């Protein structure tokens, strides 16, 4: 397995719309393993392929406290979302050390393929529902900070640019 590099906002590649996976083969299964290792090491609870500069519809998530319940979503689509919304504080591996409140449907039903290529549906609520929506946003080229005001977005961009300059 290989730890992958995570793109950092405002990298324009984060705005690339991911293409559907045509076939769940060994290459995709290896991508899933590498993404899971990267997510766990970061540490995070979700990672979309877009974040590691692979523009295919693959997401890995593990919201368990024990960090041993990996869920894989290939070509995910939300087939139902609750009319009720909830505000959650979100963070993102592509926007390090930045957290803010985002309003999303509090429950969703997602249809996807697993790493064997089998179709499944899952009803999700609470943190899992938020994480699925957050990671699917990445597949559509959207980063959670884009839900925030333009002022907050500019502050975040400036903060991350400054941090990057300090590292160089």
Q: Which residues are catalytic?
A: 135
53 upstream amide cis, omega within 30 of 0: no
Contact 30, 52 (CB under 8 A): no
Tokens of 159: 């903060």
Angle CA 122–126–132, to nearest 5 = 50
Q: How far is residue 51's CA from residue 23's CA, in Å, rounded to a whole number?
A: 21
The H or E element that residue 156 is part of is helix 150-167
Contact 126, 104 (CB under 8 A): no
Tokens of 70: 């990996």
Binding site, annotated residues:
92, 134, 138
For the four alpha carbons of 102, 105, 106 and 109, in that order, the dihedral sign comes to negative
Binding site, annotated residues for Fe cation:
92, 134, 138
């Amino acid at each position: 397995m290989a730890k992958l590099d995570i793109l950092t906002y405002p990298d324009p590649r984060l705005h690339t719309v991911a293409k559907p996976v045509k076939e769940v083969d060994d290459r995709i299964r290896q991508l899933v393993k590498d993404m899971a290792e990267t997510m766990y090491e970061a540490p995070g609870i979700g990672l979309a392929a877009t974040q590691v500069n692979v523009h295919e519809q693959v997401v890995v998530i593990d919201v368990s406290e024990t960090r041993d319940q990996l869920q894989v979503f290939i070509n995910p689509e939300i087939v139902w979302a609750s009319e009720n919304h909830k505000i959650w504080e979100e963070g993102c591996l592509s926007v390090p050390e930045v957290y803010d409140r985002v309003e999303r449907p509090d429950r969703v039903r997602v249809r996807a393929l697993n790493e064997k290529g089998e179709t499944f549906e899952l009803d999700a609520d609470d943190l899992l529902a938020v994480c699925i929506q957050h990671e699917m946003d990445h597949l559509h080229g959207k980063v959670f900070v884009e839900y925030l005001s333009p002022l907050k977005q500019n502050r975040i961009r400036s903060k991350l640019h400054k941090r990057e300059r300090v590292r160089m």
